[in-house]
Chains A and B, each alone.
Chain A
């Protein structure tokens, strides 16, 4: 897994696809033992890191993954709005989910002096009903195919919390990794939007 995140050649690398196939095969083997040849419902996730944890969004909710373009800060907007960016002529708001959810950013990797290009981040363009919004992530997002059965519904504990956290669709366990699956449409729900501007 670590190997993959070192690759930074934009978007979903081929290797990720290979890995996905490998995983599918592995899945196949697992289920072969139980019931022979029963294709399972699959979910395709885009997986990225926020803070120290891995998060995933269903690929249907992601319009594109791009290297973050220059973002124009907008004074007097909430902190988690990083600003606006021009993505192919569309001007969209770019959001920082770490700020939004109060996630502690990952400990800074001390970069050797001189390497300034460490700054590259990626933007997932999420398409809601009538608008798009960008979400900044630090490492190359990966693509991951897994069977629905691997996603546990979010523990009730999480769903009950005061900060309406029902945008957590569930928790996926893949190998030794834990992926928090987000429902972006719920994050971008009407109440959320209303809460934005001050």
Chain B
């Protein structure tokens, strides 16, 4: 795999060559119509970009020549330099020199640019009116220019989406062939299918890799956004970006863009206090916000932390009670993590007044839905006067997900690993009927459990979620899932393996069933239903009485 610098360099060269071609086109147009401002403006823009890009990556010769040319053209624009024949020749030579420099970035033997040419450029820039100094004729040694096409291509994300879908289908068929070859126990077929396995795996990673972009492309937009909110609300902030180089699927980044904008604005608007208030609390006047990305196995973790006032748990509880999400008594004993999860309820807002940037009823539920839709997770942690941390756990790629396979009432199901917390086997005696639900103690934590068979298959009117007699057998397999800071144990009939699956969306007319995130085909050709953890949790809450 190429290093990041190498990749940046290639992108620079490709862009620079494109600029070079465009420069040639525009200067030719300008030569024919010296009065036309448009090509002049374009040349200006191109040279300016080229100068900036070259400087940023450290190609000083290129930025230097671009700068000289830019100056020359600015003089032409201000009519201080006439677009005469000699000048035109020098400019053409200058642009040719740029092209040469760009093409020879990787060539250590290239040496220095032609000093005569550089001097000519200096002459037309510095000695405007003094025509006494002769422009030296530049020896053109490079008359037969070799034409090159760019090494980089732009591609529509749509095309990559299509490729990824096809790879998904291919993987399903590959797994099928693999399992058939094992069944048939045919040696040649087995060796072909294991080769096929490796190739498709390579292909899958190549396509996934082609879709990766660095989170920096999004992160770099935030300093401005944060600054605007801060200045509108008369706050002082410092936004620090960490891990801009972390790579993530372009579509995932696209989907979380609005959410992240929302969260950053929230941090400035609700999190960070006014400077005076901060001083009173003994904090620095400047609020600090850190937007960081890091890789964690197959996931990308994005955290947004601020050192602001934190979330007022009491206020959240009051709001939850007044919205009848919970009774007053129950609210008293609630754990902080449960309290914070109310923030993701639809329409839940603590903002008392609507400002330009927050409190417009677009709540965290919208953020949560976006993260849910790509199979990610979001959680909040907050301490009073210390600050708030939002953690987004995102898949690197959309197509393939690690999942846990299991069986309930002879139907295969899968739950994405992203949402599973742990898997435990427990004796039936360790489950307790508490009111209308079952609870158990898992490593010192009291967790609500539910028999999936009862939840999915019992008649809704006769559903008895707190009835232990419904369970089969003595030992129960429990998959603990986390959703919205809440844990729920799902009792399944049979637990299978962990496996990478390709989730296919359900087609019409089943496409808007919440309970299922999609389906996948197992190696045996059997259909496996992919459960949507958020919908299952909601369904459970709605059906407990």
Contact = CB atoms under 8 A, between A and B. Distances in A.
Contacts of A196: 509-510
Given A91-B519, A131-B508, A75 B456 contact: yes
B457 A75 contact: yes
Contacts of A192: 509
Q: Which of B173, B509, B512 has the most CB of A within 10 A?
A: B509
B515 A76 contact: yes
Interface in A33-89: 70, 72-77, 81, 84-86, 89
A77 B510 contact: yes
B412 interface: yes
A77 B509 CA distance: 11
Contacts, number: 68
A188 B529 CA distance: 23
A160 to B, nearest CB: 26
B27 to A, nearest CB: 51
B507 A93 contact: yes
A132 to B, nearest CB: 7
Nearest to B521: A86
B526 A73 contact: no
A133 interface: yes
B532 to A, nearest CB: 12
B240 interface: no
By DSSP majority rule, is chain B's interface helix, strand, loop, or mixed? mixed
B127 to A, nearest CB: 70
Nearest to A77: B513
Given A70-B526, A72-B411, A193 B172 contact: no
B18 interface: no
B508 A130 contact: yes
A130 B508 CA distance: 8
A77 B378 CA distance: 29
Contact of A72 (B172, B412, B512, B515): B412
A197 B528 CA distance: 19
Nearest to B519: A91
Contacts of B506: 84, 91, 93
Nearest to A91: B519
B527 A86 contact: yes
A95 to B, nearest CB: 9
Q: Which of A72, A75, A84, A196 has the most CB of B within 10 A?
A: A75
Interface in B254-295: none
Given A75-B457, A77-B513, A92 B529 contact: no
A86 B504 CA distance: 12
B526 A132 contact: no
B525 interface: yes
Contacts of B507: 90-93, 131-132
A188 B509 contact: yes
A40 to B, nearest CB: 37
Interface string B154-186: 000000000000000100110000000000000
A152 to B, nearest CB: 30
B154 to A, nearest CB: 29
Given A77-B513, A133-B509, A85 B456 contact: no
A89 B515 contact: no
Interface in B522-538: 525-529
Contact of A81 (B173, B510, B521): B510
B44 interface: no
B510 A93 contact: yes
B73 interface: no
B483 interface: no
Contacts of B525: 86
A81 B509 CA distance: 10
B219 interface: no
A89 B529 contact: no
A191 to B, nearest CB: 11
Contacts of A72: 411-412, 526-529
18 contacts: A72-B411, A72-B526, A72-B528, A74-B513, A75-B411, A75-B515, A76-B513, A76-B539, A77-B513, A81-B510, A84-B510, A86-B521, A91-B504, A91-B506, A91-B507, A193-B509, A197-B510, A197-B513
Interface of A: 70, 72-77, 81, 84-86, 89-93, 128, 130-133, 188, 192-193, 196-197
Given A86-B526, A86-B527, A91-B507, 13 more contacts: A70-B526, A72-B411, A75-B456, A84-B527, A86-B521, A89-B173, A91-B521, A92-B507, A131-B507, A131-B509, A133-B509, A196-B509, A196-B510
